[in-house]
Amino acid sequence: MNKIASNKKIMLPVTAIMLLALGVAGCGNDTDDNNDDNTTALSGTINEAGSTTVQPLAEKLAAAFTALNPNVKVVIGGGGSSVGVKSVTEGTVDIGAASRDLKDTETGLTKYLLAKDGIAIVVHPDNTAVNNLTIDQVRDIFSGVITNWSQVGGPDKAIHVMAREEGSGTRTAFEELVMGADVRIVTNAVLQNSNGALKTALSGDKDAIGFISFGYIDSAVKALSINGIAATSENGKNGTYPIIRPLYFLTKGTTSELVQAFIDYCLSDAVQQIITEEGYLSVN
Amino acid sequence: MLPRYFTDKLAKYGVFITALVSILVLLAIAIFIIKGGLPLFGEVNPLDFLFGQSWSPTYGEYGILSMIVGSLLVTLGAMVIAVPLGIACAILLAEVAPRRVRDLLRPAVELLVGIPSVVYGLVGIMVIVPAVRNLGGTGYSILAAVLVLSIMVLPTIISISEDSLRAVPRTYREGSLALGASHWQTIWHVLLPAARSGVGASIVLGMGRAIGETMAMIMVIGNAVIIPSSPLDPARTLTGNIAVEINYAAGLHENALFATGLVLLILILILNSLATLVLKRGEQHA
């Protein structure tokens, strides 16, 4: 008990010092921002935040852009599509990233179509019996109508549905493109809060099915063909693969010269190779 | 040199101000959570929020009953496993084990406290979830969560219980033995009752850690919003609900997560005051 009591005594001044430090750090940021506003040439800081699907791509694009413009700093943050929309609307970032279409309530923003992304329906690599599902079968599995692999040509085993959490851009896009209006994902589905976590969970369970972004497919999981179309970048780009969603950069009002230069760069032909390399679908 | 009473005063007010800061921080947290959660109740009936079983922000459904049940089940399960084990281990360390064993075990237990919860979660994913999967289901389940959580709260229970067993005056022990009681009778009938308030405190602190644990829970519990019907079913805790969804939440959804935090705060307050009450009662009867 003595140990705990003495810890508490230490915690008080520590808390006070941390608060002071926070205050000082806050002031530091303010002066930085003021400097940014005064720049005219290509130097300064661009802040981006939003979709975690866009994040790895945005980091690569930022690295390429800062290699060309050494005086520019691009800060890439995550948070999710909704955070991206909210942050750019409130003006806390220059660019928001979203991996879904904007909702009716999310207005006043300019959309730039950066790339497209496919959503793959994935199973365990040892699941050799099932290689193809129709969109209707996928919908029935995720809504709990089909509950056994034998109903879709597999062994007599219960299907373990894995999905993303409510509000995730990947889930929202999956619901829009596969489930349709008012057909819901079963409530007993195991939910993971990132593409990576879902892949890890799925790669350990031979009876599982889930959905992840094309960019995350590797040998740990097996991507199923949908309606007979393989989940490949080519089929995504030529539009035959049915589960494709847009990736947007979002800005609000008139943007600074610097931000516009970065966006123009990201949309130019020069970076299409980066987009393809990262496993996303280029749009040009 | 300053007069001594002046430096005394200075120290007194300095300490007072730092104490005040910590209380203000606590107050600020409470106000912030209430402010963030309150707008929800303009749209959603508080009773529907507390006792609704359907959580689906996309469809405007905000019921957190299954999360309340999930949090309570996981905490209860972990305590059922960890309390007997923890107290037994504390008795071993304080009374039974030879000095050399104790010198080895104590640092090991203390080390367990310092391991970050994400590491426990990782071990859970790699070892416990696959093991539970052999029993049926996906392995991401209440059972996996309870197992991980009981390991996490053990060190808290062990080290505080051991300290309080050690703090029992020597005369108690000697008196009991002098009356002809065996070592075990002394532990069970004299030492444990005398150390009761400390052992109780260890349980309360362990419970606090259990209900507040977030990261390791998210990683092994499956996060499905259902009231589980078997230990092999997935579930979601209140803390997990906030952590899993806050990244993507906006508007009313965000308010609902703040309100979840408010419910969590109130739940912990209730549990702590209940435990304190029970402990006080016990002391009066002794």
Sequence-ordered list of residues with C-beta below 8 angstroms from that of A264, at least 6 positions apart, any chain: none
Q: Which residues does chain B have within 8 Å of residue A16's beta carbon, measured at their own beta carbons?
A: 18, 21-22
SS3 B97: coil
Q: Is B156 helix (H, G, I), strand (E, B) or coil?
A: helix
Listed by start position, the domains of chain B span 4-41, 43-284
Q: What gap in Å lies between CA B111 and CA A77, rounded to an integer? A: 34
Q: What is the tally of helices (H) and strands (E) in chain A?
A: 9, 11
Residue A276 corresponds to which tokens in the numbers above? 């393809």
Q: Which of A176-180, A186-190, B280-284 has the lowest mean pLDDT?
A: B280-284
A20-24, B30-34, B154-158: which has the minimum mean pLDDT?
Answer: A20-24
User: Across the interface, do B25 and A15 touch by the CB < 8 Å criterion?
Assistant: yes
> If you search the block for the tokens 């705060």, which residue do you land on?
B265
Neighbour count for residue B51 (Cβ, 10 Å): 12
Q: Phi and psi dihedrals of A87, rounded to 5?
A: -65, -40
* Confidence check: pLDDT of A4 > 70: no
Q: What is the mean pLDDT of residues B89-98?
A: 92
pLDDT, one tens digit per residue, over B29-62 is 999 999 999 999 998 999 999 999 999 887 889 9
Q: What is the length of chain B?
A: 286
Give residues with Cβ within 8 angstroms of B196, minimum separation 6.
B279, B282, B283, B286
Its pTM stands at: 0.78
Residues A90 and A138 in one domain: no
Distance CA A260, CA B22 (A): 45
Parallel, antiparallel or unpaired: strands A160-164 and B61-62 = unpaired
Judgement on whether residues A128 and A228 belong to the same structural domain of the protein? yes
R_g (Cα) of chain A, nearest Å? 22
pLDDT of residue B285: 54
A70 within domain boundaries: yes
Beta-strand (E) ranges in chain B? Answer: 55-56, 61-62
Distance from CA of A136 to the nearest CA of B (A): 22
Q: pLDDT tens, A32-61?
A: 444 444 344 688 899 998 887 888 889 999
Angstrom distance (rounded) from CA A108 to CA A111? 10
Q: Are residues A139 and A187 in the same domain?
A: yes
What is the residue type of A87?
S
Whether B233 contacts B200, CB under 8 Å? no
A259 and A219 both lie in a single domain: no
Interface residues from chain A to B (CB-CB < 8 Å)? 1-4, 11-13, 15-16, 19, 52, 78-83, 85-86, 105, 160, 162, 165-169, 172, 175, 184, 187-193, 197, 200-201, 204-205, 207-208
Q: Across the interface, do B164 and A1 touch by the CB < 8 Å criterion?
A: yes
pLDDT of residue A30: 40
Domain membership flag for residue A283: no
Tokens matching residue A58: 């945005």
Residue B38 phi, psi dihedral angles, 5° rounding: -60, -40
Question: Is ipTM over 0.90?
Answer: no
The answer to whether residue A63 is domain-embedded is yes
How far is A173 from A179, CA to CA, in rounded Å? 9
Q: Residue A190: which of B160, B164, B224 has the nearest Cβ?
A: B224
Give chain A's domain count.
Answer: 2
Residue A267 lies inside a defined structural domain of this protein:
yes
We report the CATH number of the domain holding residue A25 as 3.40.190.10
d(CA B125, CA B243): 18
Backbone angles phi, psi at B160, to 5 degrees: -75, -40
What is chain B's mean pLDDT, rounded? 90
CA atoms of A81 and A168, how far apart (whole Å):
7
| Contact list, A190 vs chain B (CB under 8 Å) | 138, 140, 222-224, 234
Token digits of residue B174:
């000697």
pLDDT digits (tens, 9 = 90+) for A254-277: 888 899 999 999 998 888 888 888
Residues in chain B with CB shorter than 8 Å from the CB of A166 are 55-58, 245, 248, 253
Asked if residues B165 and B193 have their Cβ atoms less than 8 Å apart, the reply is: no
Question: Looking at domain B43-284, does it have CATH number 3.90.45.10?
Answer: no
**Could you list the residue range(s) of the whole structural domain that residue A58 is in?**
3-117+246-277
Q: What is the pLDDT of residue B16?
A: 93
The answer to whether residues A102 and A184 belong to one domain is no
Residue by residue, DSSP assigns A190-259 as EEESSHHHHHHHHHT-TTEEEEEEGGG--TTSEEPEETTB---HHHHHTT-SS-EEEEEEEEESSPPHHH
DSSP string computed for B147-167: HHHHHHHHHHHHHHHHHHHHT
State how beta strands A132-133 and A95-98 pair: unpaired
User: In terms of CA atoms, which chain A residue is nearest residue B160?
Assistant: A1
Q: How far apart are CA A107 and CA A116, in angstroms?
A: 21
What is the model's pLDDT at position B282? 63
Helices (H) and strands (E) in chain B, counts: 15, 2
Measured between alpha carbons, how far is A209 from A156 in angstroms, rounded to an integer? 15
Q: Which residues of A touch B219 (CB under 8 A)?
A: 197
User: What's the gap in Å between the CA of B185 and the closest CA on chain A?
Assistant: 25
Element (H, E) at A118: strand A109-123
Secondary structure of chain A: what % helix, strand, coil (to 5)?
45, 25, 35
Same domain, A169 and A224: yes
What average pLDDT does this structure show over B229-239? 94
Q: Do B62 and B49 touch, CB atoms closer than 8 A?
A: yes
Distance from the first to the final alpha carbon of chain A:
66
The predicted pLDDT at position A193 comes to 85
Which chain B residues have a beta carbon less than 8 Å from that of A201?
Answer: 125, 138, 140
Record the tokens describing residue A253, joined without a space. 């009002």
**A73 lies in a domain?**
yes
Same domain, A125 and A228: yes
Write down the mean pLDDT value for chain A.
83
